[in-house]
Amino acid sequence: MLVHAQRKLVECLCNFVKGNPRNQDEVINHLPQLRKHLGNLKLPSTWPEDFTEAHKAKVLTAPGLNTEEVIIECLRNNLDVCQTKVPRDLLEEFGILMNAQPDPSACMQLELLQLMCLPEGIGTKAVPRNQSMVLDVLLSDNLQHLKACINDVFFSSAQGEKPERLVLLLAAAICDGNVTTANQLQGKKISIEATVAKMHTLLVSICLGSYKELSDRGKMGRDAENTAISTHPLYNALLCFLAEQLDVLVVSLSCQLCYKYLLEIPSVLFK
């Protein structure tokens, strides 16, 4: 009952800071206290003498109090907080929490990293210092599961529930002309060529699936293919990421040819 009451208090705190810069500034000043409750519930260091192992096994530690959401809402649309009041080790702590999740692409903590790069959303001013810190977290050798999930988006068919969120996070980490982070990704083989290759593979898969569906219905046409492509979350996220890569990096002739190749859907699909 006490834990339930604490969760309700945290929920009230979330509503208190949503869309209110003054309240966000006030609450973020208590960041050390909020951080004590990140993740699952903490088990006590000591137990009552009559508390058996069977009793301990019944104590649930998940879900936690959800203080992550309070911190995330303190950052949303608040450039000053993101620039001046969030220490590097908080990003690292959120990275550790993501790494512990079975599927980092679907977890809440990812949104904090996104907001640290773009506090006011896509198409607004990025925070270069934060972009570098976020990318350091995503590519950390200490977070092998998270790193592997990102690589799987580009180099494997095994992906999480929402791989597009990871791709959009990478786009946020290089947007607004951040050559340093874009080159860092290039060095980790998440390059323009890798993005183009993944998009081409995905494009063929989408079109083949659409073609089969149309054949089953006795209908054929390009409208269905175009609709399937334009509404595919991962393909559109990759397209956004590619646009940022092309905008930031010097595009060689070979990359331009790769981009052209991407747009050439095998003609057999439309015969």
Question: Would you list the domain boundaries of the chain?
Answer: 1-39+59-86
Q: What is the DSSP letter of 106?
A: G
pLDDT in tens, the chain (271 residues): 577 788 888 899 999 999 999 999 999 999 999 999 898 777 777 777 777 777 777 776 667 788 999 999 999 999 999 999 999 999 999 999 999 999 999 999 999 999 999 999 877 889 999 999 999 999 999 999 999 999 999 999 878 899 999 999 999 999 998 999 999 999 999 999 999 999 989 888 877 765 555 444 444 455 666 677 778 899 999 999 999 998 888 654 455 556 655 655 554 444 4
Return contacts of 139-142, CB within 8 angstroms, 24+ apart.
Answer: 139/184, 139/188, 140/92, 140/95
Any idea of the CA torsion for 133, 96, 36, 46, to the nearest 10 degrees?
-160
Q: How far apart are CA 97 and CA 39, in angstroms?
A: 7
Give me the sign of the Cα torsion angle 81, 87, 90, 91: positive
Q: How far apart are CA 269 and CA 267, in angstroms?
A: 5
pLDDT computed for residue 27 by the predictor: 95
pLDDT computed for residue 254 by the predictor: 53
Per-residue tokens: 215: 């054949």
3-state secondary structure of 163: helix
Kindly report whether the global pTM for this prediction surpasses the value 0.85: no
pLDDT computed for residue 205 by the predictor: 82
- For residues 171 and 132, the answer to whether their CB atoms sit within 8 Å is no
pLDDT computed for residue 224 by the predictor: 60
